[in-house]
Structure 1
Amino acid sequence: MNLDSVIKFFAPKGMHISDSVRATASEQLTVTDVMAALGMTQADAGIGLAMYLGKAGISPQDKDAAISWLTEYAKLRAPMAVRKAAGKKFSLCMRILARFAFNDYASSAADSYDCPKCHGKGLITKTSMITKSHYTMRLPQFAKTLGQSPSDFEVFRQVKDVDHQLCGKCSGTGKISKRCQCGGTGKTLDRKKSELQGVPVYKECKRCEGRGYSRPKSSVAYRGILSQLDSLPDRTWRYSWKPFYESLVTKCFEEESNAEAQLKKVTRTQDMIEIS
């Protein structure tokens, strides 16, 4: 059993709550077995399980706990150059790095962000000046006698016209998906090999490196640190802070992998028989 199968137990759509089909075999896991397996996984790899549940949006408390643990981990593993640059704001900076690192870890192809063109409204306001006219009075009899026309009594004025149009960048949704051009699959068609072999051949997408979505840029975390350390040079960030930030993101994936390995270990058939 892997971590992806755990999600269905927190939001069941039917009365049959299990990670396998209905069967009478002894290796079928019941709800009690899964809950016991989660408890044992939490005891040995609680941080990784909390990170995954926070990433999946199951538990906001686990998300806060994972960020707090990552903050303490950052305080212990921070390089000396980072400690010196942060100074008295070291703890706050580590909290900011931990939060951005967790958001980087939790991002996926299903995420979206506000459209920068319409600022999430879905509509764009266009203002223009148009010319309108009106007649000051009806054409009097003396004007008709003199051969004047209604246009001689016409007055022109400039009016501001406000027009609301659908945003072309987000098509009126106000959101832009983080999904890559490969459709979130992480694979693209290799045209040369497909023509040679006569069948579709796929390769890893070079734009997203097989992830299916674009990662948040590290410059976003840099701007977050600049809110506290406005004098931090870009060179210091690139050579000291950025590698440490990337190591925090890697640590999140390592803890998730550890939790999944522990869950698979405790849900093996032989282990469940011994526990029962």
Structure 2
Amino acid sequence: MIFYLWKNKIYIHPMELKDLRSISIWKKEKLELNISVDCVLLTVRDKKLKVLLNMPFPEVGYFLPGGFIMTDEDADAAAIRILHQRTGLDHIYLKQFRAFSDPGRFSYPTLFRNIGWEKHLMEELHTLSERMISIGYFALVNAELIQPTGGDFQESTTWGDIEHLPELNFDHELIITEAVDALRRELYFRPVLYNLLPEKFTMPELQNLYEIILGKPLDRGSFQRKMLRWDVFERLEERRSGVAHKRPFLYRFNKEKYTTALQKGIHFAI
């Protein structure tokens, strides 16, 4: 729409007045959409990076845990709620990494047809928006501390290997790929995998976690020097027992020091 200024007043160009007649239609047809969050919950199991997947309907395969943003919450609150519902965990590092807004990424008719609901819900289909925008979050979780609970449909859950994912719905494989890339970038600058660490661990065990998530080997000497330079890993006067070679020292992650370092703007980098 074209506006112009005349004698300190703003006017709509006459050729654009016809657009005003379509505002109500534009609001109805162009702005009706749904906004949801999809949570990529990652862990390390059996020396593999894995992701939590749901199967609410056996007919259509796997989905990421997700849900709508309620009218009384923002996107972060929705992601925290969904994480708690699916894992029972609170106070987990949760990172928003991207919005997924391709107009063709989601289709209610296709979903209902695949699960056999189309005939029963044809009358309701016209009231549902065909547009679904999803905000992606990732979190690293300790699989040993959670009991996956499914969601509103009490769906079955599984940990899927990111290198050998089962068939996923909509663009959820893309969301997982983007989440893993975002996690790896984040890991180069922050030790965000502390949720996966036991109370006590060795530097080789920490390095092994990094290598699994990054998908590549790291130089042992260089890795240890960089980790210790951050001053968030405390060496204990204990050594790991039951190992074949020289018993390595045990360490503990100091979350308080880490939080203080972040507040001071200390830059973490591998």
- Tell me, yes or no, whether TM beats 0.5: no
- Name which structure has the greater RCO, CA cutoff 8 Å, separation 6+: 1
The structure with the largest helix share of the pair is 1
Greater gyration radius: 1
TM-score (norm 1): 0.22
The structure with the largest strand share of the pair is 2
TM-score (norm 2): 0.22
